[in-house]
Structure 1
């Protein structure tokens, strides 16, 4: 998908509400029927609108699937760090971020399963997954570099490569826990992920085992 093919975002309140209703309906249909079996008519029926209305906001099923995944990315990428506002302890911030990410992954586990499945057969969805993952890598790389500059993390690792490794670890950790249902106690998951992250970057911490 390119900027030339993607529909422009609505600017009116009614348009915004209609588009959001379509995205919400698409999520219901994708989770219920899967990507391959989901039909545009099912999405428009769920959203209580016409097929013509759908094409006002989206070109095809692929584009609305991308919109659904964009919503989950925003939720997981910006996890509400108000819980640690004013805290300057890197370990506490990492712990809060991991907790928020894992909570969001657990809520969106069905969609994350679907994304993995479709990425294996659809090159465009595979690219969507890659772009989505890179957003997390870039965010975490900025955080690692900031900690290095403040003398709080190992200065001898490349922040982007370290972020790629750690971000992949947490992503697969969450996939195993909530998609493959191999997880255990949630607090134990958060503790383990955070301790591994801190140890990898040589960040001092006083994490308490649950």
Structure 2
């Protein structure tokens, strides 16, 4: 088990090793990355590496944890957007935040995706990320149902799993598999799908294609039986 250093200098060195590890893993991949290269990138001796990490695997796990946390932090969403009365705009901001974060971390996410297929500890990092994001999404859907804005028939756990998985897989196809999409259009389309799935409306206008054809606005709390 890696222990956190007590001194400020030790914490700085450990942080440098994490940054250096990320750089080397992105460049060489996990299997080809060498501890000597990571130490050189961090400007520390090979032996110093083991003062902070037990192995290359333990360092990679920490890199993965940091990256996965950034993907779902939503720290770039302005406070006024988080508290807007329009739930569709909140969903749009969250979708954009996730895609932009994934794009910026695409090189290391490619490696994390690969390693998670055969390394249980890294796979658990991904599972924990999904659980945290799923819990947050469930709570949001439940609030929308309580406010009469989302279809009350929806099971929040099923919806969170399905919609969260959709966005995560789309990001993987977009930024790792190389599928050709436009970022702004991707945000719009994912948001429409989310809104339709939950039965939401945007400024009184339904996102459902069938309801949108109606000449009269459909109240947010009205659902077909």
Q: Normalization by structure 1: what TM-score?
A: 0.89
Q: For the residues of structure 1 that align with 2:95 and 2:156, how far apart are their CA atoms?
A: 18
Q: Secondary structure at the match of 1:111?
A: helix
> Matches of residues 16-35 of structure 1 in structure 2 within 5 Å?
16-35=11-30
Q: Show structure 1 runs of 5+ residues with no match.
A: none
Q: For the residues of structure 2 that align with 1:16 and 1:138, how far apart are their CA atoms?
A: 31
Q: For the residues of structure 1 that align with 2:50 and 2:190, how far apart are their CA atoms?
A: 43
* Structure 1 segments of 4+ aligned residues over 4 angstroms from their partners: none
Aligned residue pairs total 202
Q: Secondary structure at the match of 1:65?
A: helix
Q: Normalization by structure 2: what TM-score?
A: 0.83
- After TM superposition, give the deviation of residue 42 of structure 1 in Å: 1.0
- After TM superposition, give the deviation of residue 94 of structure 1 in Å: 0.6
Q: Does 1:103 align with 2:100?
A: yes
Q: For the residues of structure 2 that align with 1:100 and 1:184, how far apart are their CA atoms?
A: 16
Greater C-alpha radius of gyration: 2
1:160 matched to which residue of 2? 157
RMSD: 1.7
Check conservation: 1:183, 1:189, Cα contact below 8 A.
Answer: no
* 1:41 paired residue among 36, 54, 66: 36
* 1:13 paired residue among 8, 13, 19: 8
> Matches of residues 1-210 of structure 1 in structure 2 within 5 Å?
5=1, 7-80=2-75, 81-82=77-78, 84-205=81-202
